[in-house]
Every structure is written in structure tokens, then in C-alpha cells.
A = this chain, B = another copy of it.
Amino acid sequence: MSHLTASVEYGLHCLLGLLDAGTQPRSSRDLAEFQGVSPTFVAKIFAKLEKAGIVVAAEGVRGGYRLARAPETITVLELVDAIEGRKPLFDCQEIRGRCALFDEGVPEWATRGVCSIHAVMLKAEKAMRDALASETLADIGGRLDRKAPAGFGADTKAWFDRRIAERRSGSQAHRKDLTS
């Protein structure tokens, strides 16, 4: 098992599907199905991303999500924290104060400052978080764009447009049924 769950992987992959959407919202269902992952799972992830102010929701048949901010300002660290919650590397229980020699009370020196073991873990956690903060959603999208062939962006856009058109015509048919 890994430290980060599949939610981070699914969330980040699906968010990449918003990069070329412009002002047109895309539903979490379409983003999930485009990526080949569970729509129910992705719906829960996008609710967290909305709560964290990373995406905004638009209602209606043409509704869905769009990025709340420029992807250059959205760091991978923010995404991980939004999806997983802020989870520390190490949870110091301050057991340094439990030494058998301290049966008459914990001396001041023993719990002064940060525990030496905790300090090492905090340093390692900072290194990891700094690395995640140094990359943005736009950086990842840019790398993907450089890899994909020329037609991939247009094919992607056409796929999402078709889904929206299908939903709209389905909805119009449904409305006709209701009024006929």
C-alpha cells in the first residue's frame, strides 16, 4: 500500500481534463468516463476539490465543473491536501516524557523544544511538501501536451462536446415527452 490513495491519482488525472475546457464546464461523470475510472468515486473527489476552492460548480444540463483559478496557481501540494486531507508524515506522541527515570515528574529539559526524532520527520515532511508545492497542474498538463500528437486536443474537445450534445438532446426529448 502507498501513503497516498488512488483518490489522488484519479483526481489529478480528471482535473487534467479541465485544462482545455475554457469556460465550458465539464461534469465529473464525463471527466471520469473520459479517464476510464469510477464516476461515483470521482464525484466525491470533485466535491472535495470544490470545497477547497480549486474547482467551481455550474448547475444545469450544460453544468459541471471548471477550474476556479489559473492552473499555473494550483500546486500539486494543494491538490493532495484537498483530496487526502492534511495528513502529517509522523504523529509525535511525546513519549520522550515517559522515561522510567522520570517517576518523580518530567524534568523541563526532557521536553524542551521539538523531540529530536520528530524534528527529523518534520524536515523530511517539509522536503516532500516543498517538492509537491514546486509543481502545478499547468506543469503536468504542459508535459502531457508535449507528449500527445497534434490531433489529441481536438479529439478530446470533440469527445466532451459530443457528451454535452447527447445530454442536451436527451434532455430536450425528455422535455418533449413531458409536454406532449
Contact B121 A4 (CB under 8 A): yes
CB distance from A161 to the nearest CB of B (A): 13
Query: Which one of B9, B112, B139 lies within 8 Å of A93 (CB-CB)?
Result: B9
Assembly CA distance A119 to B144 (angstroms): 12
Q: A10-B95, A37-B95, A91-B6 are in contact. Are A127 and B131 (CB under 8 A)?
A: yes
A156 at the interface (CB under 8 A from B): yes
Contact A37 B2 (CB under 8 A): no
Chain B residue contacts of A126, Cβ below 8 A: 131
Total identical chains = 2
A window 19-61: CB within 8 A of B: 33-37
Contact B100 A159 (CB under 8 A): yes
A120 at the interface (CB under 8 A from B): yes
Interface residue ranges, A against B (CB under 8 Å): 1-4, 6, 8-10, 12-13, 33-37, 76, 87-93, 95-96, 98-101, 107, 109-110, 112-113, 116-117, 119-121, 123-132, 135, 139-140, 143-144, 147-149, 152, 155-156, 159
Residue of B nearest to A84 (CB): B3
Residue of B nearest to A125 (CB): B128
Contact B131 A124 (CB under 8 A): yes
